[in-house]
Each structure stands twice: as structure tokens, then as C-alpha cells.
Amino acid sequence: MALRRTVALLLLLALLSGCGTSRVVRLDTGRGTPLEYTPSTSKAVRVDEDAFEEALTRLVLNVPMTLRAPQQGLLERVSYPANGGDVGWQRLMGKSFGGLCKAGQRRGDCLSLLDDAMGMGEWDKLGVALALSLDPMKESISRAVEETLAPQLFYAVISTGLVSWAVLAANPEPVFTKAAAIVSAVMLIYLGLETFLEVVDACRELKRTTDRSTMPLELEQAGRRFANRVGPEVARVFVLAVTMAVSHGMAGGAAWLASRVSMLPSFPEAAAVSASQLGMNLTNVWQVTSVAVVGNTVAISLPATAVAMVAQEMSGGSAASAPSGQLHHVISKRIAAALEEHNTLRGHYTARDPRFVTRAADKAAHNGYQKWHRDVDKEVVAWLKRFDRATPEEFESFLREIYSRPAMRARFPHGF
């Protein structure tokens, strides 16, 4: 059903893509007319070298990496053969970590100009060029993973995921599904629509260039041009998103993966950008089922639970139009202050967090900072003090329990 929806939406987008050059994001929940966003600015969430290393270290420490990603069905190398098998592919990617060997030199940790270049298929060449494009990040990656994994091993695993995504992106009208859809959604949120489309086009150019390449040196040059075009911040987001996707998190359950989303750098800022610019709930980004690119339009298939409240308010549906009272921010300033002093929840939430917004039934249900509101804040602050090692999912489950109580449901029919 989701695939049929995606195909139908692609046909519609193909008809409309020639009508203008504006960049558009469409959210399709499968119910009613898709929500449409035309971001006024391509706001990006900055990820510098220090933030990248810190986030990658957290992910590697808390997310066990799978060494057989293709068999797990996460980021599958579709549309091209595994010449030599996955072991041979990972060995090739691992050697890419060491760059090109010097003339006349053959080592196990670099690419030989003779042996490794012989028999490369088109997708092998794309993979090597993409792996070589990460050369400026080798030191950062090594520092982040050295205490848990051999850098070459991590590089081999992550390169497989990167090239799997790039293979899909290199298609004229790519459709990303499964883990590749989640990688795409995270990149879209952190990079902004304009830069995301630029990365997709850069993958197409890289594929065209590597198809014509016959020497390893040409692959290195192609990788360098790709790196220069997308820039280091894009590469950092790319690596972090794929690291999440090739983890056992997806095989270990949706809730497990959802708890790892908050390990991404500048999470509160990214969540706010996701809600305001794209209408998506970053916390539930793992629920995205497909991302399709047609021209300057990105169509995202996702359940209603992954749509940000502000987007639901704009949809004009019955769920958004029934309540008529004030908007209520579940994370009040008082709760936010307590969260900033919490041992494990610090940095995960912001005051008036856009991910946790609901609308009151009417004006009487919510009119300023009333006693019921002060009582809820007091209860939440007390809970935070009592459970000083709580996880984000435990905290959010507690909030939902409060807002599911009959008295609160009367005030806020939709909960949050």
C-alpha cells in the first residue's frame, strides 16, 4: 500500500515538476491531501568537527555496529552484484581508508594501483571514490571510534552504507526506502532542502564520473571533487545518519532506535528546524517509510505520528480543527529549567519545545498560567528530581500518562 502511494505520488509530481522551479517538500500520511512546505530559507543545523566526534563517539559506544549490513536488510546494495562477496567488498572499503598506495608499494591497508584496480565494476568504482572522498575526515573518525573499533573496520562498514545510499541517489528520480529513507530524512533536516538536493545531484555527477574512470588516480580525483562540492559539514551529517542506520538499532526495535535519535548533535535545534521548516517530528523520524525526489520536489511518506503538531494544525483536517483554544507548550520554562539540571536529560529539550505542543479545547480550558498548569509543572519537576537517571523515552512516557488523564483529556482532546 505504501509503495503504491509512493508510485502514485511520483506520477503526480512528475506532471507538476515542470510548472515551476521552487523547491517543495510534501508530507504524505496516506490520509487526505499531502501537506506542502516551501521553506523560505534553507536553514542548516551546523555540525562542526568537535560536535561530530562527540556524537559519533556516543553512537559507536551505545549502538553496536553490524558487520553484515546487506544481509540485515538495512542499507542493501540493490541493483548491482557483490563481486567477490561482502568480505571482498568490506576489504576494498577498508583499504580505501589508507588511500592510494605509493608507486610500487603493496600493503593491506591501502589501495594498490595494480591489484585493487583490476576487475572493478561500476559500483565498486563508485564505492572507492566515495570512500576516498572522506579522506579529510579520517582523523576525526579515528579519534571517535579508536576505543571501540579499529578505524579501518568502522570505515569498511560505514562506506558500505554510504555507497548504498549514493547508489539510490544516483538514479534520475531516486526513491529511498527502509533505512535509506531515514538517512535521507535526517540529512534533509540537518542540511536543509536546497543542500539535500545538491547532495543528490552530486551523487549523480560522481556516478557519471566514476563510470568513465579507468585508473585509481581518476577515482581519487573524482572523490576529491565530490568532497569539495558537498563540503565537510555535509559529510559529517552523512556519516552520522548512516552510522545510525547500519546499527542493530533497527533490528533491535523501533523504540530502541528512537532513543538514539537524540544522540545526534544539536538535537533541540534540529528538532525545532524539523518542525518549523519541514513539518516533521525529529523524534519520530524513524517512522519515515520513503523519500522520493522528483526535480525540485521531495515527497516524504510517513504516518501522522511523525508529522509535527504545527504541521497538523495547518492541515485543515478534523484532528486539527476541532479544538479552538490556546496552543499549549508541554515543556514549560519551569520544566525546561529542571531538565537542564537533570543528569541524563540535559540538552534533549528546550523551553516551549515545538515537538511537544497541543491545543486546548477552548479558551476556558487553557487561559494563561492557571492553577492546573502550575500543579502539572510541580508534579513534573518533582518526578525529575526523583528519577535523576531517567531516559528520554521514560520521561516522555510519563508526560503522556499525565495528558491521558480524564481531566487533562478534557482540556486537551488530542493529548500531545
Q: What is the pLDDT of residue 409?
A: 67
Q: Cα–Cα–Cα angle for 22, 26, 28, nearest 5°?
A: 165
Q: Give the mean pLDDT of 364-377.
A: 86
Q: What is the pLDDT of residue 94?
A: 62
Highest mean pLDDT out of 246-255, 309-318, 399-408: 399-408
Task: Count other C-beta atoms under 10 Å from residue 222's C-beta.
Answer: 26
Q: Is the Cβ–Cβ distance between 257 and 246 less than 8 Å? A: no
Sign of CA dihedral 403, 406, 410, 411: negative
pTM: 0.64
Q: What is the pLDDT of residue 333?
A: 93
Q: Which of 219, 90, 98 is nearest to 157 (CA)?
A: 90
Q: Give the mean pLDDT of 20-24.
A: 66
Q: At which residue does the C-alpha cell 486546548 appear?
A: 360
Q: Name the β-bridge partners of 175.
A: 292
Secondary structure of 193-242 as H, E, C letters: HHHHHHHHHHHHHHHHHHHHCCCHHHHHHHHHHHHHHHCHHHHHHHHHHH
Q: At which residue does the C-alpha cell 540537518 appear?
A: 190
Q: What is the pLDDT of residue 9?
A: 52
Q: Is the Cβ–Cβ distance between 380 and 386 less than 8 Å? A: no
What are the pLDDT digits (tens) for 301-350?
A: 888 888 876 555 544 333 333 467 888 999 999 999 999 999 999 999 99
What are the pLDDT digits (tens) for 376-399?
A: 999 999 999 999 999 999 999 899
What are the pLDDT digits (tens) for 79-131?
A: 333 444 455 656 666 666 666 777 655 556 677 655 555 567 787 788 788 87
Share of the chain above pLDDT 70, in %: 69
Alpha-carbon distance 258 to 145, whole Å?
A: 22
Spatial CB neighbours of 13, under 8 Å, sequence gap ≥ 6: 26, 292, 294, 295, 297, 299
> At residue 286, what is the residue type?
W
What are the pLDDT digits (tens) for 36-53?
A: 777 766 678 899 888 888
Q: What is the pLDDT of residue 318?
A: 31
Task: Count other C-beta atoms under 10 Å from residue 31's C-beta.
Answer: 11
Question: Which residue blocks in 264-405 are alpha helix, DSSP H?
Answer: 267-273, 309-314, 318-321, 333-340, 371-386, 392-403
Neighbour-count burial for 289-310, b at 16+ CB within 10 Å, e otherwise: bbbbbbbebbbbbbebebbbbb
Angstrom CA distances, 277 to 192, 273, 310, 416, stand at 8, 5, 10, 20
Q: Is the Cβ–Cβ distance between 213 and 222 less than 8 Å? A: yes
